Amino acid sequence: MTRLLLCLSVSAAFAAASSLPQSSVAALQQPAPATRPPAKAGQAPKQTPPQKKAAPRKTTPAPTPRTAVTMTRAEMRQFLLTAKITGEQGTSRGITAPKRLTLTDGVVTRDAGFQSVDEIIPTSQRTHASDRFESNFNDAYRYNLAAFALAELLGIGDMMPVHVEREYNGRKGSLSWWADVQFDEEGRRKKNAQPPNPTEWNQQMYRMRVFAALVRDIDRNLGNILHTPDWRVLMIDFTRAFRLNTEILNQKDLLIVDRALFRKMEAMTSSDVQSAVGSYLTKNELEAVMTRRDALVAHYRKVIAERGEASVFY
């Protein structure tokens, strides 16, 4: 009898379940929610660890706007070659009437120096920086371009503003980046201004003297030596350089030399110079450069033999 009642109860339960709505059946089939076991006496309940915050998305910083300050020398060169010339003013510097032009490419606006002098004076002419007289006196903008190319070849291109050849008002000339300077050498002497690092400044001046001797620049006057606010020495205006005379100017003042400059000058070949300066020097002018190079190398080798490398190289 008991077994019969149990079977009837099971049958009734199945019948009741089959008569439930489908939603209720589904609910019954869901697993029971998990329950956290009660904490033992004296034990703090476990805390659910906080969810980790997603790491912030890395963003690429916006590029630095191109300005005259951030431009590379290659970018300066391209600017000088292609920027639109929008203005002109004269300068009080020099006797070859250089012009100060304003250029813009729509983003950067900058001034540049333009020299188009190109003349040969057959009569005897006194140079500006000395009492020497010279016949067939040559004054040409192309020497600016040759000097810049040669300085780059020797690893001292940063001692000159970037130069390019460009045409303005129907005349070809050398166009150079207008440097930010505090004064020229004449102004420095008048103010008795002293560089914060005299040794480094003197080393720059010696590089300039060696280079001026190599290119035989007869007009390295005080106005052609500039000093930037951070005391870098800049050389400008080589329109009266590259003479055919092979004598070394001011050789007695050439007591020390930059080791890297000396090694580059020593290894320099005629082909190297020709490739660098192109048509800016004649064959005779290039040969004169190489003859002076030989004389400079011989001079410093003699000084090294007399005083030792440690006293000559820096």
pLDDT of res. 121:
82
pLDDT score recorded for residue 202: 97
pLDDT at 159 over 80: yes
17, burial (CB in 10 Å: exposed 0-12, middle 13-18, buried 19+): exposed
Q: Among 25-29, 54-58, 247-251, 274-278, name the one with the lowest average pLDDT.
A: 25-29
Q: What is the maximum span of the chain, computed from C-alpha positions, in angstroms? A: 149
- Has residue 20 got a pLDDT over 60? no
pLDDT of residue 74: 97
- The pLDDT of residue 164 is 98
Comparing 61-75, 137-151, 242-256, which segment has the lowest mean pLDDT? 61-75
222 against 69, higher pLDDT: 222
Q: For residue 18, is pLDDT > 50?
A: no
Query: Is residue 25 pLDDT above 70, yes or no?
Result: no
Structure tokens at 249: 């100017």
User: What pLDDT score does 50 carry?
Assistant: 60
pLDDT tens digits for 35-86?
455 555 555 555 655 666 666 665 555 545 567 778 999 999 999 999 999 9
Q: Enter the DSSP assignment of 257.
A: B
Is beta strand 99-104 parallel, antiparallel or unpaired with respect to 84-90? antiparallel
Q: Is the pLDDT of residue 137 over 80?
A: yes
What are the extents of the domains in the chain? Answer: 73-312
Judge whether residue 224 has pLDDT over 70. Answer: yes
The Cα–Cα gap between 34 and 13 comes to 26
- HSE-up of 244 (CA within 13 Å, CB side)? 8
Tell me the per-residue pLDDT of 206-218, one tens digit each, with 9 for 90 and over: 999 999 999 999 9
Q: Among 43-52, 93-102, 111-120, 142-151, where is mean pLDDT lowest?
A: 43-52
Query: HEC profile for 64-107?
Result: CCCCCCCCCHHHHHHHHHHCEEEEEEECCCCCCCCEEEEEECCC
Confidence band for 29, pLDDT divided at 50, 70 and 90: very low
Q: What is the mean pLDDT of residues 198-224?
A: 97
273-301 pLDDT, tens digit each: 999 999 999 999 999 999 999 999 999 99
- Across all residues in the chain, what is the average pLDDT? 84
pLDDT over threshold 60, residue 253: yes
Q: Which residues of 24-37 are buried (b: 16+ CB within 10 A; e: fewer)?
A: eeeeeeeeeeeeee
The pLDDT, as a whole number, for residue 146 is: 98
- CA pair distance 127, 110, nearest whole angstrom: 32
Is-contact 234 226, C-beta < 8 A?
yes
pLDDT at 124: 59
DSSP SS3 for 299: helix
d(CA 234, CA 70): 19
Show the beta-strand stretches assigned E in 135-186: 137-140, 163-168, 171-177, 183-184
Query: Could you give the percent of the chain with pLDDT greater than 70?
Result: 73
DSSP classification of residue 49:
P
129 — pLDDT class (breaks 50, 70, 90):
low
